Amino acid sequence: MKSLYTEKKAKEFKTDLDLRVYTSRLLGQDDSLVLHGGGNTSVKTVIDGEKILLVKGSGWDLVSIKAEGFSPVKMKTLLEMAELKELSDSDMVSGQKAAMIDKSAPNPSVEAILHAIIPFKVVEHTHSDAVVTISNSVCGIENIKEVFPNFLIVPYVMPGFILASKINEMIKGLDWDKCEGIILHNHGIFTFDDDAKKSYEKMIDAVTLAEDFLERKAKVELQNISPKEFDVSKLKIDNFMNINQTPLALNYASQKNLKEFVTRGVLTPEHIIRTKRVPLVLEDEDVAKALDNFHKEYENYFKKFASDEIMLNPNPKYAVIKDFGVVSFGKTQKEADIINDIVSHTMMAVFRGDKLGGYKSISLKDSFEMEYWELEQAKLRK
């Protein structure tokens, strides 16, 4: 992975925020780092004599973010939140919003507290395909430690306050001079520095290490496969669809024990909100029967872990069709295309994860907690 940073361009930016916008967009240009709203960045600065965290706001993509896409939050409040023993994510969001010095700005990222407790001016967080692929394998922790011996490695916990609180405990007494970054197992990677260029390039360098490891240990060679015929008009799941018959999709859809192969979970937790945990799998049975089975399995999954949640639409977000390819569904063509992008990155990760001993995503319980996150449920209740 190459750095896109140029001194000539960087000299155009005079403020901390303008430079933060520039380097955030550099990260956003590579969809192997951040995909459709993924990842977040921040910079700490002083405004009117007060220490402020400028952190990516919810609803913004790094590739196109502007200055107004960053939320200005009082550092004092975020650091106080980090020391709390308990805090619901909805209360965290309310508290962060109340601590903003510009109430018209977007809601701060749910990782704002985590950005605040990292004692460096500039912080990058991505869901790097290469890093998460390595951690999403049976030997993930061991491999991550091999590639990143000087990183703080955090076992998977739910994003939001729980994650920030966990890391806040782990970093007490940490020698930051010897810490090159943070790996969130099954989730992503953080790098940081007091210099914008160094922070960005630390991310590029770290991801390059992961890419080089995969090139050595998990190279994937795709076979030439001709797709069989399938009448996609039978798939009346949603208004729009994306039909993927790339070599990657055809190799994915031609595996033996197809259902077992393609139902091992998401690449990174945030994806589950868009894709669900698993696809509809079509082999020899008719579509109606397969869809009915999918609904029953989804309802069983919901009943097993639900307390007072509202069940989401039980329809699949995409289908893997034996020897035909992958079809993604959406209420709009954009939604179907986004789901296809996410699934495409996941397919390659599954192949590579298997080369590393076996692809392994987060657990069923963790998947449910992410899919039914209280922040998402709050939107439904409204």
Residues 159 and 17 reside in one and the same domain = yes
Q: Which amino acid is at 221?
A: E
203, 262: one domain = no
pLDDT at 221: 96
Domain of residue 320 covers 232-381
Domain termination residue (choose one: 194, 217, 240): 217
Domain presence at residue 224: no
Instruction: Give the residues of the chain that fall short of pLDDT 50.
Output: none
* Structure confidence at residue 12 (pLDDT): 96
Last residue of a domain, which of 170, 194, 217? Answer: 217
Same domain, 200 and 149: yes
**362 inside domain:** yes
**pLDDT confidence of residue 285:** 75
DSSP one-letter code for 192: E
CATH of the domain at 136: 3.40.225.10
For every residue of 311-375, DSSP letters joined together read PPP-S-SEEEETTTEEEEEESSHHHHHHHHHHHHHHHHHHHHHHHTT-B----HHHHHHHHT-HH
- What pLDDT sits at residue 307? 94
Give me the residues paired with residue 289 across strands.
Answer: none
210 with 279, same domain: the answer is no
112 plus 241 within the same structural domain: no
Residues contacting 313, CB < 8 A, separation 6+: none
Tell me what pLDDT residue 220 has: 97
Reported residue count of the chain is: 382
What pTM, to 2 d.p., does this model score? Answer: 0.94
Residue 363 included in any domain: yes
pLDDT single digits (tens) 121-138: 999 999 999 999 999 999
Per the structure, the count of domains in the chain is 2
Residue 226 falls inside a structural domain: no
Q: CB–CB of 131/34 below 8 Å?
A: no
Q: What's the confidence (pLDDT) of residue 379?
A: 55
Would 364 be classed as within a structural domain?
A: yes
Q: Does one domain contain both 210 and 288? A: no
- Same domain? For 33 and 181 the reply is yes
Whether 222 is in a domain gets the answer no
> Tell me, what's the pLDDT at 213?
98
Phi/psi of residue 276, nearest 5 degrees = 65, 175
Asked if 182 and 237 sit in the same domain, the reply is no
3-state helix, strand, coil in the chain (%, to 5): 45, 15, 35
261 shares its domain with 209: no
> Is 42 part of any domain?
yes
